[in-house]
Amino acid sequence: MRGSRTVLYSSLLLLPAAVLLWVFTYQPILTTMFNSLYSTPRGRRPAHFVGLDNYEAMIADPVFWKAITNNVIYALTTIPLSMLLALAMALIVNANLRGKGLMRMAFFTPTVLPMVAVANIWLFFYAPDYGLIDKFLGLFGMGGNNFLGSVETALPAIIVITIWKEAGFFMIFYLAGLQQISPTLLEAARLEGAGFWQILRRVILPLLMPTTLFISINAVIGAFRLVDHVVAMTKGGPDNATTLLLFYIYQTGFAFWDTSYAAALTMVLLAILAAIALFQFGYADKRVHYR
């Protein structure tokens, strides 16, 4: 009797979370999967079953492959660089330095700025001829650059903004992880004659692996959900040079109003994120030392 009451009580406690999880996660996924197998309803023409036609059209879509390529380049660049920069900043502000509180605030400030505000700030930096960066390069005879209007520099320009904005956010987690490391371990390593790089490699980094795994998961999600900066700064141009997968989904669904094809693109995005998550939790998690 008591066991049944415990099960009932536990189920009732879990029910609100389970309802929210179903309504905002699993039900939208199933609806998106269902819609990807139908055509887009237009006017009086209702949707009809088309099977895998949307996925076949996707394979033949050059813009889709361009978006995938851009997103892979974007992720492989922003994730490691922002994490390395975040670790470096955390090591700096964790040291016994004067003014480290001011440095923490300076490093973290880009994180709290709204995405659209960040985009407008960097639009001024990247503006040709009168922008801050171009003015500086002009001192060395290298002015007249249109960073966001060139196929070669548009995506790197977006990557720089992301690293600048995300590094401060990841720094907070690394700083919390550093402050959980026992000073006695660091002191013992110094007594054994270990230098800074040896302590970093043999003591700090292994103990920060749970934090690194958590940050990497957030970084991967962030790398595949960027749309604000692209909408505000480049609209995917020039020549689809900054078209990322989520922006292409947004453009297909809300600009071209092809909701069924957008649903198919969304399923591909979910599949990519699921595969990465399986690797992170199935492989990387086994090599993490939890204290």
**CATH number, domain at 140?**
1.10.3720.10
pLDDT of residue 167: 94
- Residue 35 falls within a domain, yes or no? no
pLDDT of residue 90: 94
> Tokens 């660091």 belong to which residue?
186
> What are the per-10-residue average pLDDT scores of the chain (291 residues)?
76 90 91 92 85 93 96 95 95 84 87 84 89 87 87 94 93 93 87 86 89 91 88 90 95 92 95 87 67 53
Question: Whose CA is closest to 146, among 261, 210, 233, 39?
Answer: 233
Domain count, the chain: 1
pLDDT of residue 113: 86
> Which spans in 95-182 are helix H?
100-112, 115-126, 132-138, 154-179
Side-chain-facing half-sphere of 46: CA atoms under 13 Å: 2
* Burial class of residue 30 in the structure, from the number of CB atoms within 10 Å of its CB (0-12 exposed, 13-18 middle, 19+ buried): exposed
Whole-number Å distance between alpha carbons of 56 and 242: 24
> Tokens 């977006």 belong to which residue?
158
Secondary structure class of 258 (helix, strand, coil):
coil
C-alpha torsion sign, points 189, 190, 195, 197: positive
Type of residue found at 72: V
> Which residues on adjacent β-strands are paired with residue 38?
49
Question: Whose CA is closest to 58, among 66, 49, 46, 48?
Answer: 66
pLDDT of residue 103: 86
Structure tokens at 26: 């699993």
Return the ∠ at Cα 46 (arms to 45 and 52), rounded to 5°: 115
- Residue 34 falls within a domain, yes or no? no
pLDDT of residue 291: 53
Give me the domain span that covers residue 183: 62-287
- Residue 31 falls within a domain, yes or no? no
Whole-number Å distance between alpha carbons of 30 and 46: 20
Whole-number Å distance between alpha carbons of 30 and 108: 38
Secondary structure class of 87 (helix, strand, coil):
helix
Whole-number Å distance between alpha carbons of 209 and 290: 8
- Residue 157 falls within a domain, yes or no? yes
Question: Whose CA is closest to 173, among 272, 271, 240, 107?
Answer: 107
- Residue 27 falls within a domain, yes or no? no
How far is residue 112 from each of residues 175, 228, 266, measured CA to CA in Å?
Answer: 17, 15, 28
Whole-number Å distance between alpha carbons of 135 and 139: 7
pLDDT of residue 101: 82
Distance of CA 10 to the CA centre of its chain: 35
- Residue 10 falls within a domain, yes or no? no
- Residue 5 falls within a domain, yes or no? no
- Residue 117 falls within a domain, yes or no? yes
Whole-number Å distance between alpha carbons of 97 and 100: 6
